[in-house]
Chains A and B, each alone.
Chain A
Amino acid sequence: MVGLLLKDFINLKRYLKIFGFYALIYGFLAFTQKDASYFTSIFTILFSILTLSSYSYDEMAKWDIYALTMPVTREDIVRSKYSLMLLLSVLGCAFSILFTIVLNKLLGVENGVLELEACFIVVAAIAFFYAIVIPIITKLGVEKARFISFAVYMIPFGIAFIIKQAAEAGKIQIPTRIVELIHLAMQYRRILIPVILVVALWISYQITIQIYRKKEF
């Protein structure tokens, strides 16, 4: 699996230059506006997008068919993609935090703990997104999956937005028990989010393995 991850990192290293360029632009903006909050999640998101790119690269090269002739199992390939996604998200998070700390020091601002939590929430959201998307990519390929994944992710947000708007306009009344439940969930988010995430990733991984085992090339 190390070889598969190495292959992905070598393929993606060209993006480092682009990210370096982004760092300069955002760094400049942070300085001019005396606010480093831009950095809180930007690298986490940028890094996480690379997982999708790694799927595109593999598809373009028809890599999987070749990799499966090597001492690599189908499970290894699936595992390497989940590992890559988590590694990239954590790396992105680490970069974001590092840049924010450096910029905050330079700007003389102190709010590190808040940004750390924001960063972890972004990592969790990204991992949850991929928990839904990876099985779809495995089944349909990255191109078809791109649109479907977008829809899968946007529909709940859209519904939530419509409900919120309707509630604010007084058209519907959200039951108080649900509001209480949401407040309770927010209170225990530091336990709930990791638990939900681990369960979601485990289910997603099991589904992907089943899809990939049956895949024909």
Chain B
Amino acid sequence: MKKSSPFPISNTESAIAINNVVKQYDNFKLDHISFQVPRGTIMGFVGENGAGKTTTIKAILDLIAIDEGEIFLLGSNAGNLSKEKKASIGVVLDGSNLHDNLNIKNINLIMKQIYPNWEEGTFFSYIRKFHLPEKKIVKEFSRGMKMKLSIAIALSHQAKLLILDEATSGLDPMVRDEILDIFLEFMQDDEHTILLSSHIISDIEKIADYVTFIHKGNIVFSKNKDDLIYQHGMVRCKKEEVREIDKSYIVGVRENQFAAEVLIQNKDKFQRQYHNFKVERTSIEEIMLFISRGKEGF
């Protein structure tokens, strides 16, 4: 069944537009997913392992053929991108995908031939910034170093759009923080856009403007991060008090022997209606957890 996109902007206005995309596998289906990434924003793409994040990114990058729907990248059909448009997209995949016996200088030489807009100076400045050893080969790099190398490549050809699949996972908090700062630096240009897929919600909470939540191949929500946090709240009460709350407010309930935690939506309206309940601020992680578990039943 077709689902409408939550964003009222056109396919050409947004950096990425996904409309009713279906991809069927034997044991998994991307089920009519739609969302848009507005230009000049960071979209956090979250979901549990196996939810469909990487499949969606592969569909965006035309690495898999979709069964239904359409995808637009920087205003053009994703399946028919010109080399010029492809050159303005930086991609970091979950893994380095570079040959083990290449070194930094080799990689620079290769990329210089592949990207017409390759900036050697920028590349080496990132290499120095990330403290990557110029003489070592990729095989000798740690996972963090490989990720930094991929990010350095993605940022060295005047990319307008960065598509990052689990670029921060498997890295220690210090390195993650360093990389997130680089992404924020990249966003200083209003024309720049990032789609960042991750299952590390704290990273998304730190830098994203919008959050798209995918669960079992379905888009659960695609919203402005601040609105999400503002519209939801956590009510901690006695188990029997849950019955007093109108079901339309309840997103999910977590109960223990005596007490209950209730994630509510329409926080403002709820607070006007129920003065006896204290509503606490919640997080994207809790919202995601309650929604996904709520869907399966507590």
Instruction: State the CA gap A3–B91 with chains docked (Å).
Output: 18
Q: CB distance B83 to A10 under 8 Å? A: no
Q: Check A71–B63 contact: CB distance below 8 A.
A: no
Looking at the assembled complex, report how far the CB atom of A6 sits from the nearest CB atom of chain B, in whole angstroms.
5
Give Cα A154–Cα B89 distance, bound, in whole angstroms.
46
**Interface residues on chain A, number (Cβ under 8 Å):** 26
> With an 8 A cutoff between CB atoms, is B104 at the interface?
no
Assess whether B102 is in contact with A10, with CB atoms less than 8 Å apart: yes
Pairs across A and B, CB under 8 Å, 13 listed: A3-B112, A7-B102, A60-B99, A65-B63, A65-B93, A68-B62, A69-B86, A70-B91, A71-B86, A72-B83, A216-B58, A216-B65, A217-B58
User: Is A165 part of the contact surface with B, judged by Cβ < 8 Å?
Assistant: no
- Number of contact residues on B: which range applies? 20 to 34
Residues of A within 8 A of B (CB): 2-4, 6-7, 10-11, 14, 57-58, 60-63, 65-73, 214, 216-217
- DSSP majority for the A interface? helix
* Given A62-B97, A66-B93, A214-B65, also A72-B102 (CB < 8 A): no
**Residues of the A chain whose Cβ atoms lie less than 8 Å from the Cβ of B106:** 10
Give the nearest-CB partner of A217 in chain B: B63
A131 to B57, CA, bound (A): 34
**A57 proximity list for chain B (CB < 8 A):** 99
* B163 / chain A contacts, CB cutoff of 8 Å: 69
Q: Given that A10-B102, A71-B83 are contacting pairs, would A66 and B115 also be in contact in the complex, using a CB cutoff of 8 Å?
A: no
Does residue B84 face the partner (Cβ distance < 8 Å to A)? yes
- Write out the residue numbers on chain B whose beta carbons fall within 8 Å of the beta carbon of A3: 110-114
- Give the residues in chain B near A58, CB-CB below 8 Å: 99
> Other than the known A2-B113, A72-B83, what 16 A-B pairs have Cβ atoms closer than 8 Å?
A4-B114, A6-B110, A7-B99, A7-B110, A10-B110, A57-B99, A58-B99, A62-B95, A62-B97, A68-B61, A69-B86, A70-B86, A70-B114, A71-B83, A216-B63, A216-B64
A11→B101 contact, CB < 8 A:
yes
For the complex, what is the distance from the CA of A195 to the CA of B221, rounded to whole Å? Answer: 60
Q: How far is the CB of B182 from chain A (nearest CB, A)?
A: 19
CB of B98 within 8 Å of the partner chain: yes
Structural contact, A63 and B93, CB atoms closer than 8 A: no
Q: Given A11-B101, A63-B97, A65-B97, check contact A72 B114 (CB 8 Å).
A: yes
